């Protein structure tokens, strides 16, 4: 049996990482509004950069002259402040149009460690994908997000607004994904698409009936619930089941030990083009392939 999922309160967006991109900031803010979450933006001034500036041999190449100069801690602080101000302008413009509760915090430290420390089990941390697998390393920020107690919202490289259902990938009728997806569907006024993972034919109908009954009990009208069984055990089978659904969000349980680069959530976000909400490990996710 899966434990009951937490009632999420905040969506945490690392604005030092990717919120200078207005599209990412808007996608995160729209998700926060749809689920009734506060948007908590964090800009981390990397302590390691200040430490490097204090070393007598540290040099930086300045443009356009292409000349090497000693690193200046005062100038670095000014550049951090300018970057934070730019990120705040981007976020302010987005939240002003959407009218959501938000906070903007500037901290100094290790960017990966700060996000991990700030996030709790009632938070969702944004992880933005950046294109094809291998094009960007599985950096320390993302690695820390996966190790944190928070759920993860994986955004596709080019997020776009969708009007389709909320999709829940279910290992069984008690999967915590169902409750989270049902809450999201109810809050957003969306339909609910149930995607039970591959089951023997003699178990499938009973599992569908239990999941549908549970979704109805959670407040989703029966006429807004659809079911698409996943035909096989692999991730490709799940992507096939999602094809043509126009799902605006996919909710699934993440692996306890994700690979260091191309995670199932990342593959779904890129291939399906919709955000993927990854819950803490409580069930089974499709294997790669």
Residue 65 is predicted with a pLDDT of: 54
Max intra-chain CA distance, the chain: 72
171 lies in some domain: yes
The CATH number of whichever domain residue 120 belongs to comes to 3.40.50.620
Spans in the chain with pLDDT lower than 50: 1-3, 19, 61, 132-137, 259, 283-289
* 145-186 tens-digit pLDDT: 877 888 999 988 777 777 899 999 998 777 889 999 998 899
Residue 285 is predicted with a pLDDT of: 40
b or e along 228-264 (b: 16 or more beta carbons within 10 Å of the residue's beta carbon)? bbbeeeebebbeebbeebebbbbbbbbbeebeeebbb
Residue 24 is predicted with a pLDDT of: 86
Residue 63 is predicted with a pLDDT of: 53
Domain total for the chain?
A: 2
82 lies in some domain: yes
Out of 155, 180, 203, pick the residue that ends a domain. 155
25 lies in some domain: yes
Residue 2 is predicted with a pLDDT of: 47
Residues 48 and 129 in one domain: yes
Out of 155, 184, 210, pick the residue that ends a domain. 155
- Is the bond preceding 64 in cis, omega lying within 30 degrees of 0? yes
285 lies in some domain: no
Residue 10 is predicted with a pLDDT of: 93
* 101-114 tens-digit pLDDT: 899 999 888 887 88
CA 79 to CA 218: how far, in whole Å? 49
Residue 134 is predicted with a pLDDT of: 43
For residue 231, give its domain range.
166-279
Residue 74 is predicted with a pLDDT of: 74
234 lies in some domain: yes
Out of 123, 155, 187, pick the residue that ends a domain. 155
209 lies in some domain: yes
Token pair of 6 as six digits: 């937490």
């Amino acid at each position: 049996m899966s434990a009951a999922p937490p009632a999420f309160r905040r969506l945490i967006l690392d604005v030092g990482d990717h919120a200078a991109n207005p599209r990412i900031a808007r996608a995160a803010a729209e998700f926060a509004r749809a689920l009734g979450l506060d948007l908590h933006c964090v800009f981390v001034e990397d302590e390691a950069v200040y430490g490097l500036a204090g070393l007598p041999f540290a040099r930086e190449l300045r443009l356009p002259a292409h000349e090497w100069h000693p690193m200046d801690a005062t100038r670095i602080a000014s550049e951090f402040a300018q970057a934070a101000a730019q990120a705040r302008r981007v976020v302010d413009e987005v939240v002003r149009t959407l009218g959501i509760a938000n906070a903007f915090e500037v901290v100094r430290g290790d960017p990966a460690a700060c996000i991990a420390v700030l996030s709790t089990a009632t938070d969702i941390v944004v992880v933005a994908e950046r294109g094809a697998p291998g094009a960007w390393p599985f950096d320390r920020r993302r690695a820390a997000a996966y190790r944190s107690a928070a759920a993860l919202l994986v955004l596709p490289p080019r997020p776009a607004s969708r009007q389709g259902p909320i999709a829940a990938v279910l290992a069984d009728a008690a999967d915590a994904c169902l409750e989270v997806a049902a809450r999201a569907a109810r809050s957003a006024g969306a339909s609910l698409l149930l995607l039970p993972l591959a089951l023997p034919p003699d178990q499938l109908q009973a599992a569908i009936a239990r999941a549908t009954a549970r979704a109805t009990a959670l407040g989703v009208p029966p006429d807004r619930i659809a079911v698409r069984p996943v035909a096989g055990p692999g991730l490709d089978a799940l992507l096939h089941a999602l094809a043509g659904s126009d799902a605006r969000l996919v909710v699934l349980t993440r692996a306890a030990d994700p690979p260091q680069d191309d995670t199932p959530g990342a593959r779904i976000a890129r291939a399906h083009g919709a955000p993927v909400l990854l819950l803490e490990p409580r069930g089974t996710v499709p294997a790669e392939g």
